[in-house]
Amino acid sequence: MQNLSLHGGGAQDRLRSPIPPNLPAYFMASLYHHPMSSSLDQYPGASSAGPAQDPMDRALLASRNHREAEKRRRERIKSHLDRLRTVLACDPKIDKASLLAKAVERVRDLKQLTATIPKHQNFPSEHDEIVVLPSISDSSTSSSVPTIFEASVCCDDRADLLPELIETLRGLRMRTLRAEIATLGGRVRSVLLVARERGVDEDRDEDEMPVGNGELLRDALRALVDRQMAATSDRPKRRRMVDMSLA
């Protein structure tokens, strides 16, 4: 009878209880306050590190991260604008629109400046080149035969190249007014401004002496490069000879 009374009392308790029996554990934990929750509330960091986080805390954390990222982005943009003001030498108080307009104008000027750079630069290329042209600064004589030439030789670099080039010009009785030599990756380009010595072949006609239009100088430089090609013909390398002269 005692068991029946206990069982009957349990049935009455279940009837009086508003919560249905046999509910999942996670649902029951959400209805009843856990004794450890009060201790976790004292440490906000401990609750955020757990797997179950309050949606309000997640929203606050996302908002704080967004504010910090926005602050870093603004600081980065400000540093770029300050550097741009320094490069363009602008007033520190200039507004961003005017600063960007000056930057666009500066870039446009630089593009126009690079477009005016001549095609043949002092940097050596991968192909052998020989260029001989009359100098535009040759105004020392009124004759149609030029006396000053601009010569450019691009080939493989070697130890005896410069002495042979000097001997070649000396054999043509030409003196060097200016020389620019650049080397890159085993290649060398020599840009020379040479002039005929006074009194050379003045009693001969232009047809009898081809040095008048630069053909003799070009042929001598080509022979210099051909000797180098014959000495290094055992090395497989793509070559292309480029000759330019004024006929």
Tell whether the model's pLDDT for residue 50 goes beyond 60: no
**What are the residues whose beta carbons fall under 8 Å from the beta carbon of 61, sequence distance 6 or more?**
48
Tell whether the model's pLDDT for residue 3 goes beyond 60: no
pLDDT of residue 127: 86
User: Alpha-carbon distance 55 to 74, whole Å?
Assistant: 29
Which value, in Å, is the radius of gyration of the alpha carbons in the chain?
44
DSSP structure class, residue 243: E
Quick one: angle between helices 215-231 and 161-171, nearest 10?
Answer: 150
Q: What is the mean pLDDT of residues 19-34?
A: 53
pLDDT band of 188, cuts 50, 70, 90: very high
Tell whether the model's pLDDT for residue 88 goes beyond 70: yes
Separation of CA 57 from chain center: 45
Q: What is the mean pLDDT of residues 91-103?
A: 90
Residues facing residue 153 across a β-bridge: 130, 190
User: Alpha-carbon distance 71 to 62, whole Å?
Assistant: 14
Cβ-contact 224, 168 below 8 angstroms = yes
pLDDT band of 36, cuts 50, 70, 90: very low
pLDDT in tens, 108-135: 998 887 777 655 467 888 889 898 988 7
Of 50 and 216, more confident: 216
Q: What does residue 234 show for φ and ψ, rounded to 5 degrees?
A: -75, -15
Structure tokens at 10: 């349990």
Structure tokens at 196: 């005929």
pLDDT band of 145, cuts 50, 70, 90: low
